[in-house]
């Protein structure tokens, strides 16, 4: 009635009015995606600056009560339109660490993800990037400010960040859990990631994303997760590219206390689970499931989480799986930072040539002389520096080298390797662990973050490489230095320093020495029973 009165008063014809209403409808159709339907129900996000964000989207049932220590289960639908305007609580972890990650609350009910999209229509088929946070499988949250996906979305990407269970909630194995499952136990955190990727495949088109062009990427434990997904039959077909920043699982399984091996054998993990049940005072699985989450977190103080070779999610030594062609063949982009080992070398202040020699010889068997020759340690200063470098190479450098080599030898798709040696405004002697993340996401500036023009310039270049890779499977693009694909002979590596240019893989003779060390470790693991013994590490 109101439109009719206005029409009559202004003397507009019905045709003109119809055209006006039609134009308004077209304008709304080409506005930002804000309300949509996904698995479970309807969502309403927040539009700001041409980017729509949807936070706190459930992708699986809350893993609580009887679902604690089980694979993620389908979520229950909700009624009405769910507001997706705030991050969900972080997974259970130390409350202090969660606060540092940007979350004021932790909860077992944690299986939520977030989406940032520039799309105005659902049929835009934009490349999709799915972020997996790091944190030693013990801490982390999608709400960390460095992980905000706005800048990626501004470059034409649909960015997803997803949570997964941590610590004893995500990686606890136990004989009773293994018996209950009938296969293995202890890899729920990785299974959460797979459930998140399934959600992306089923729903991301609603956000303007292309479900056939998904890149999974992560840092540290997140990068290790990416490499695990690349070799897991459960993740087959869920992503088409993989990026690993400072981490990968290419080593044999940890049988005891080998600190640089990122995946623990099932028997070793089950023994840890039995010990935790004992500390918890739980006589059986039912009692442990009935225990408060806070009590489990407290009982796990001093616990070291690892992904577990459960025989279902992680089905074998990843190095050997690649050699046998049993992996999810996608383009790979992997690399590490020049001082990735620094934060893990807190004990290095007291390192002497003698203690360095003893440390290496205690765990590297017949390869000890070669390893010691590769790392100068004649003085205390050399020994301190070599601790940082050996930890970097064992945990981050060699895995990147091994993965790129195995992908190139056994896959149909290319590998690209990077090394970040210097950041523009940094005055430190090297680039520390996780220092590249604000550059990758473009979240520079603000308190305590680099803000010089040259930092923003490098951030733009790094993120464009990442976006190009997510778009085509190749990081190269206009106005960027050429990034050659990796091959074992030339060992092409893109080095980010004072300049950005392709060079041979850094410390290559040392890395090849570690090839012999890890080959010896694989022999040790094969020769010993599953619960291992004490195959050590430098």
Q: Which band of pLDDT confidence, cut at 50, 70 and 90, is reported for residue 432?
A: very high
Q: Tell whether 330 and 373 lie within a shared domain.
A: yes
Name the nearest CA neighbour of 105 among 94, 90, 87: 90
Structure confidence at residue 27 (pLDDT): 31
pLDDT digits (tens, 9 = 90+) for 334-387: 999 999 999 888 767 789 999 999 999 998 999 999 999 999 999 999 999 999
Beta-strand (E) ranges in 205-331? 209-219, 241-245, 263-265, 307-309
Query: What is the extent of the structural domain holding 21?
Result: 1-30
Say which range, 37-51, 312-326, 436-450, 491-505, has the weakest mean pLDDT: 436-450
Q: Tell whether 12 and 46 lie within a shared domain.
A: no
pLDDT at 257 over 80: no
Tokens of 166: 């941590």
Whichever domain contains 291, its CATH number is 3.40.50.1820
Helices and strands: H and E segment counts in the chain = 19, 18
Q: Which band of pLDDT confidence, cut at 50, 70 and 90, is reported for residue 496?
A: very high
Domain-embedded: residue 537 = no
The total number of structural domains in the chain stands at: 2
Q: Tell whether 216 and 341 lie within a shared domain.
A: yes
Structure confidence at residue 101 (pLDDT): 67
pLDDT digits (tens, 9 = 90+) for 170-180: 999 999 999 99
Structure confidence at residue 429 (pLDDT): 75
- Its pTM stands at 0.92
Name the 3-class secondary structure at 369: helix
Q: How far apart are CA 409 and CA 228, in angstroms?
A: 18
Name the 3-class secondary structure at 431: coil
Structure confidence at residue 12 (pLDDT): 37
Structure confidence at residue 259 (pLDDT): 67
Query: For tokens 């259970």, what's the residue?
Result: 92
Q: Tell whether 13 and 137 lie within a shared domain.
A: no
What DSSP assignment string belongs to 331-363?
Answer: -EEEEEETBTTGGG-GGGGG--HHHHHHHHHTT
Q: Which band of pLDDT confidence, cut at 50, 70 and 90, is reported for residue 133?
A: very high
Q: Tell whether 14 and 44 lie within a shared domain.
A: no
pLDDT at 185 over 70: yes
What's the chain's average pLDDT?
A: 91
Tokens of 196: 């998140």
pLDDT at 529 over 70: no
Domain-embedded: residue 532 = no
Pairing of strands 112-117, 158-162: antiparallel
Residues 82 and 68 sit within 8 Å (Cβ to Cβ): no
Domain-embedded: residue 233 = yes
Domain-embedded: residue 538 = no
Q: Tell whether 459 and 514 lie within a shared domain.
A: yes
Q: Tell whether 2 and 106 lie within a shared domain.
A: no
Say which range, 360-364, 415-419, 471-475, has the weakest mean pLDDT: 360-364
Say which range, 137-146, 412-421, 441-450, has the weakest mean pLDDT: 441-450
Query: For tokens 């062609």, what's the residue?
Result: 325
pLDDT digits (tens, 9 = 90+) for 110-127: 999 999 999 999 999 999
pLDDT digits (tens, 9 = 90+) for 202-228: 999 999 999 999 999 999 999 999 999
Structure confidence at residue 199 (pLDDT): 98
Q: Tell whether 159 and 259 lie within a shared domain.
A: yes
Domain-embedded: residue 536 = no
Tokens of 322: 């690649």
Q: Mean pLDDT, to the nearest integer, of 254-262?
A: 81
Structure confidence at residue 8 (pLDDT): 37
Distance from CA of residue 217 to its chain's centroid?
5
Q: Which residue has the higher pLDDT, 457 or 426?
A: 457
Q: Tell whether 26 and 45 lie within a shared domain.
A: no
Q: Mean pLDDT, to the nearest integer, of 276-288?
A: 97
Domain-embedded: residue 353 = yes
Tokens of 158: 């649909």
Q: Which band of pLDDT confidence, cut at 50, 70 and 90, is reported for residue 530?
A: very low
pLDDT digits (tens, 9 = 90+) for 189-205: 999 999 999 999 999 99
Q: Tell whether 323 and 341 lie within a shared domain.
A: yes
Name the 3-class secondary structure at 209: strand
Q: Tell whether 79 and 13 lie within a shared domain.
A: no
Q: Tell whether 18 and 144 lie within a shared domain.
A: no
Structure confidence at residue 23 (pLDDT): 33
Q: Which residue has the higher pLDDT, 336 or 18?
A: 336
């Amino acid at each position: 009635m109101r439109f009719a009165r206005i029409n009559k008063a202004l003397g507009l014809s019905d045709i003109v009015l119809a055209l006006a209403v039609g134009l308004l409808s077209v304008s709304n159709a080409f506005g930002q995606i804000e309300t949509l339907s996904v698995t479970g129900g309807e969502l309403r996000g927040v539009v700001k600056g041409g980017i729509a964000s949807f936070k706190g989207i459930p992708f699986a049932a809350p893993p609580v009560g009887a679902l604690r220590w089980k694979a993620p289960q389908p979520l229950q639908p909700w009624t009405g339109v769910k507001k997706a305007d705030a991050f969900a609580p972080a997974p259970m972890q130390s409350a202090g660490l969660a606060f540092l990650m940007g979350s004021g609350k932790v909860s077992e009910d944690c299986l939520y993800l977030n989406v940032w999209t520039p799309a105005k229509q659902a049929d835009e088929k934009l490349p999709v990037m799915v972020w997996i946070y790091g944190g030693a499988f013990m801490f982390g949250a999608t709400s960390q400010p460095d992980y905000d996906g706005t800048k990626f979305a501004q470059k034409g990407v649909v960015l997803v960040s997803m949570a997964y269970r941590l610590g004893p909630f995500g990686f606890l194995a136990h004989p009773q859990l293994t018996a209950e499952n009938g296969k293995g136990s202890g890899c729920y955190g990785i299974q959460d990631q797979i459930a998140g990727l399934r959600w992306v495949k089923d729903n991301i088109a609603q956000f303007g994303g292309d479900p056939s062009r998904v890149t999974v990427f992560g840092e540290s434990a997140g990068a290790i997760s990416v490499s695990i997904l690349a070799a897991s039959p459960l993740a087959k077909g869920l992503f088409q590219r993989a990026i690993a920043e400072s981490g990968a699982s290419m080593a044999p399984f940890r049988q005891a206390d080998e600190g640089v091996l990122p995946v623990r054998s099932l028997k070793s993990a089950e023994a840890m689970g039995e010990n935790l049940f004992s500390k918890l005072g739980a006589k059986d699985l039912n009692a442990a499931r009935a225990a408060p989450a806070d009590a489990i977190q407290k009982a796990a103080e001093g616990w070291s989480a690892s992904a577990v070779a459960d025989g279902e999610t992680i089905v074998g030594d990843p190095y050997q799986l690649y050699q046998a062609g049993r992996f999810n063949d996608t383009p790979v982009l992997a690399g590490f930072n020049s001082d990735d080992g620094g934060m893990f070398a807190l004990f290095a202040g007291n390192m002497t040539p003698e203690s360095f020699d003893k440390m290496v010889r205690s765990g590297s068997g017949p390869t000890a002389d070669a390893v010691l020759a590769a790392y100068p340690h004649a003085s205390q200063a050399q020994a301190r520096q070599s601790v940082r470098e050996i930890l970097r190479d064992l945990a981050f450098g060699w895995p990147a080298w091994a993965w790129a080599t195995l992908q190139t030898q056994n896959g149909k798709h290319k590998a690209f390797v990077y090394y970040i040696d210097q950041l523009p405004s940094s005055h430190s002697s090297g680039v520390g662990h996780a220092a590249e993340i604000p550059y990758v996401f473009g979240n520079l500036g603000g308190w305590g973050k680099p803000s010089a023009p040259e930092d923003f310039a490098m951030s733009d270049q790094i993120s464009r490489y990442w976006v190009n890779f997510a778009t085509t499977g190749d990081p190269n693009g206009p106005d960027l230095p050429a990034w050659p694909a990796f091959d074992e002979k030339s060992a092409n590596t893109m080095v980010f320093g004072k300049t950005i240019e392709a060079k041979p893989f850094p410390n290559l003779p040392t890395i090849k020495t570690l090839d012999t060390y890890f080959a010896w470790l694989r022999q040790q693991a094969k020769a010993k029973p599953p619960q291992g013994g004490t195959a050590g590490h430098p």
